[in-house]
Amino acid sequence: MGVPSNWGTLSNIMLNFRRNPPVRNPLARRQQWRLLSLIMAMGLVVLVISEARDPANYAWLVTLCGGESAPAGAPIAAEASERIEGDPADEEAAAGRYHPGVKPELLRSISDNTIFGNEEKDAWFHLLDILKRTDEATLARRSTGRATYAQLDKQSSAYRGELVTVLGTIRRARRISKIPENDVGIDHYYQLWLFTADNPTLPMVVYCLYLPEGFPIGKEVEAEATIHGFYFKRWLTNAQTPPLERPMMLARTVHWQEPRPAKVNTMPVNSDTMLPVLGVAIGLALCVVVFVYLKTRSTKPGESEPPDFDAIRLAVVSDVEPPSDAIDADAANE
């Protein structure tokens, strides 16, 4: 008995038991989480790109490399040259580097690494009186140049009484009304904690007579500023434990520009154009919803209909059993 002629068709039927490739359901929770992760990753990339455009974010790199970064928009005075303590040698040269009116003999009563002493009172109000009687433009013009935190801290006596310029960020400001009696008409001043651009981790202390209108007061201040004033001493402050030495200077005021609120670009709304655009957007959204529904309403993976084994069995029997005329021929031959 030979192989049935339609045995290939039977084999195809028997081998067609494989499951169809699984179709991913975009509405499944796993797929939704995957899509959400991709959107969050794209948002993170956009955020990093926007922050990378701000030069202020690279200030730490400049400081790490030993450079100095100035606050954005702050005017930079000429660099102050390094001083050697004890220079100049004579009184005439010493008087030449002071602002007109400063009495060098009063500066000798000032001592570094100490708190305020009564012997320093005359020098203190002498410098404040000069600041009070001199306009800010003159102070800026007669400044000997920009001084860094390290210069003032390491060469305190060389800079004492000199009119210098410092740049940085003010992070604390408070008004002091309880001050010693004086004959120059000063009844209050302000204490500022300034973190200079060259040393953003250690503050120096500035006492100034006036603050610009709108300047913030408190312990949570963030104000980029330029200050022209007299360097006074390396002050031992007891505001911290243990007490630490901080460079301290006197100033008339601070140069500060109040941050402007960010402008919001708003476009006028035209109802004649908004309604058609809104209608088109809703139509497209409905088309997407219908498309997704039609693609996902089919049977899910693992829920396909089982094969009809009865139909397969009948097909196998009909293909294998020989026809009746062949049986009659075999009987006659016997």
What's the one-letter identity of residue 301? P
What's the one-letter identity of residue 32? Q
115-172 per-position pLDDT tens digit: 988 999 999 999 999 999 999 999 999 999 999 999 999 999 999 999 999 999 999 9
Q: What pLDDT score does 190 carry?
A: 96
234-282 per-position pLDDT tens digit: 998 776 667 789 999 999 999 987 776 655 555 454 555 556 666 666 7
Q: Above 90 in pLDDT, residue 176?
A: yes
d(CA 112, CA 186): 24
d(CA 287, CA 216): 55
> What kind and span of H or E run contains 135?
none
Q: What pLDDT score does 243 carry?
A: 74
Reported pTM: 0.53
Average pLDDT on 89-103 reads 68
Q: What pLDDT score does 328 carry?
A: 55
Give the pairing type, strands 163-176 and 189-196: antiparallel
> What kind and span of H or E run contains 125?
helix 121-133
Domain regions of the chain by residue span: 25-61, 68-251
310-332 per-position pLDDT tens digit: 665 665 555 555 555 554 555 55
- In angstroms, the Cα distances linking 295 to 17, 36, 84, 290 are 24, 21, 83, 9
What's the one-letter identity of residue 179? I
Q: Above 70 in pLDDT, residue 307?
A: no
d(CA 315, CA 12): 12
- In angstroms, the Cα distances linking 98 to 74, 302, 308, 328 are 25, 91, 107, 137
d(CA 322, CA 228): 115
188-241 per-position pLDDT tens digit: 999 999 999 888 888 999 999 999 999 999 999 999 999 999 999 999 877 666
Q: What pLDDT score does 88 carry?
A: 41
Average pLDDT on 282-286 reads 71
Give me 314's structure tokens: 């009948």
Angle value at C-alpha 197, between 191 and 201, nearest 5 degrees: 70
46-94 per-position pLDDT tens digit: 777 776 666 666 555 655 554 444 443 333 333 444 554 444 444 444 5
